[in-house]
Amino acid sequence: MSHPVLDAIRSGSAPKAAKLAAAKGLLPLPPEILLEALAILMRDLDPEIQSSAIASVGSIDPGVLLPLARSEATAPGLLSFLCVTPGVPESVAEAVLFNPTTPDGAVVQLAFSTGNSTLIEALTVNQQRLIRNPQLIEAILHNPRRTPEAERRAREVKTEFLEKEFGRRQVSGEAAAQSRFESSKSVADLIPEMFLDSPPPAQSPAPPPEPVATASPEPEPLMLPPLAPRPAPPITTPAQARGETFKPSGKISSVGPIAMIQQGKAPRQARLMVAQGKLPLGPEDLLFAQVLLTSDEDAEIATAARQAIAELEPDKLVPIAQNRDTPEEVLHYLLLWDNLTSQLGETLLVNSSIPDAAVLAFARNSSDGSLLEAVTINQQRLIRLPDIIEAVLNNPSSTFEAVRRAREVKTEFFEKQLGAEQVSRERQARAAKFAAVLDIPPISEEAFEAEFQSLLASYEADVGQTFSDDAPLPEDADAAFEAMLASIKNEEGIDLLADAKLGEDANARLSVFQQIAKMSVKERIFAALKGGRDARSILIRDSNRLVATAVVKNPRISETEVESIANIKGISEDVLRVIAMNRGWVSNYAIMHNLVRNSRCPFNFSMQYINRLQSRDLVNLGKSKAIPDVLRQAANRLIAKRRETGSG
């Protein structure tokens, strides 16, 4: 779009007074012209003009911005600007997110950076956008301000459409539809361009264009300008002061700029801009990149990275410290940070992902007695790296309680054979517990323990969650056992305790149920993944949906069992979803029929399979009161249609 005032601002020929008036919103400009002018003035070299433009964006009446945010005719650059600019009213930001022409790159950048949980939840409403741009899913899952509902929706789309075969086909179809968005890049799209072999030139005022006799050029899409960071004094971490630096974990990041920094391929100018916080990466990714750059060979870059991290508020880093997916380098750096607070330190020390080497360096040099006590709480870490025990005992700042715990672990697990004997007993007990439940030939304790840990680690990585290995209390185990018996009585009409005529078979089943009732969540999942038919029959009804879901991932499960499971009325929705997504199982008519009849089956699968039902089953479905009204009405419409065409 062209306008005299906008052209003068864009070309750099506008006087300061005119630019300042435009930055303060004092000129009578149309909304779309004003927004583009403010976008340009937000990166003006004059601090007064820059700050005025930023303030004006937040003071514009939402009633003026909403029509632009909702209109599909609005330029994609303007939509990107409204999407990623801080201070835009929430109602306007929501309207931009629901506008199908808003560039995906801008939406991804918002997902990384926003602290508004309402907007994060709104991001998950548009499944087509999530499928089209998987980076958006990752941005939502890595945002510490996400709500449980937003995380559930994002993970559901990731599982159903990206990690499964039919999901990949749908993504392939969406790729063609994405081409119309490629014409307008967002700031997030431009980030990789800073990491080309030729570094970008330093910023300088744009020279006025030479006058030509042609029409005004088309304006470039609006981009959110990087704001200059606040100055901070140089700082070094305790680790650097003592010559103790972190070792790279060796895991290459999936974020392009960070991967290039890790591999040493990022040009100097790009590294410097990241160190200064001038590239709009997500908060966690930016911190990771800056931590890597604190050890850069270029002193200017390393100093800039340390200055940027020194400006951060420790309390705002707690969500990052809690996240087990946070890179080890970041956890290591923060634990040895000069600005470490007690709250941040305690959060880091309870994170199972923090490297042992970082805890050892902390234990040797910390002067915070309460945090040294926190170091000694994790007995497994002390046993895994005994040097930590010695570091606590030799640290003059250690409290009496920290010393007591460290000596206790040293005595029990290293000066006696108790530790090794305890581990051996636990392995024997676990192997014996599963002897009847697994219904497989016996194997050695070592082989069983290796398979147990390997299978559970794989399942935890698959679902993105860890599980407790603590056994339930005796009263809880008794209650679980009673619930199992009640479930068998209701489903199969068998009272295992009362009917003594059932003999050995009943006693065998009771034994299995008693063993399962005493198991931890982690052990029940293992039993679900490896157990025999009796174990599967009860674990499929487990109140923990991940335990129940593990049953249908058991390679020994038969189609007959799946058919029965699909017919259970109180079954977990997640279990039915796994069954419905298995093409081999739904090719079995009985399984497919049971899915459609089950009110717990996800609606999209029920509607997908209803067309494949035989007419007599459709008639029964149309009379059923146990399914949603929408599904019953769809069955009746399909019956009427078949009667009209004479089919079925």
DSSP character string of 398-432: --HHHHHHHHHHHHHHTSSSHHHHHHHHHHHHHHH
Tokens of 3: 């306008």
Domain range summary for the chain, segments of one domain joined by +: 4-183, 238-413, 436-557, 574-648
Q: Collect the ranges in the chain with pLDDT lower than 50.
A: 165-167, 170, 175-193, 196-244, 500
- Phi/psi zone of residue 267: left (φ > 0), alpha (ψ -120 to 50 degrees), beta? beta
Q: What angle do CA 464, 466, 468 make, to 5 degrees?
A: 160
Taking the model in full, what pTM does it have? Answer: 0.36
pLDDT at 429: 66
- Distance CA(567)–CA(569), nearest Å, equals 6
Token code pair at residue 530: 């490896």
Tokens of 288: 């990771």
Cα–Cα dist 560/567, whole Å: 11
| Contacts of residue 365, Cβ cutoff 8 Å, sequence gap at least 6 | 238, 242, 336, 395
The alpha-carbon radius of gyration of the chain (Å, integer) is: 31
Q: How many residues does the chain have?
A: 648
What pLDDT was estimated at residue 588?
92
Q: What is the pLDDT of residue 516?
A: 79
Amino acid at 358: A
pLDDT in the model for residue 4: 81
Long-range interactions of 304-307: CB distance < 8 A, separation 24+: 304/272, 304/275, 304/276, 305/274, 305/275, 306/234, 306/235, 306/236, 306/237, 307/229, 307/231, 307/232, 307/233, 307/234, 307/235
Give the CA angle between residues 574, 579, 584 to the nearest 5°: 160
Tokens of 370: 């309460």
The span from the CA of 57 to the CA of 82, in Å, is 9
Cα 592 to Cα 73: distance, rounded to the nearest angstrom: 45
| d(C-alpha 509, C-alpha 156), whole Å | 35
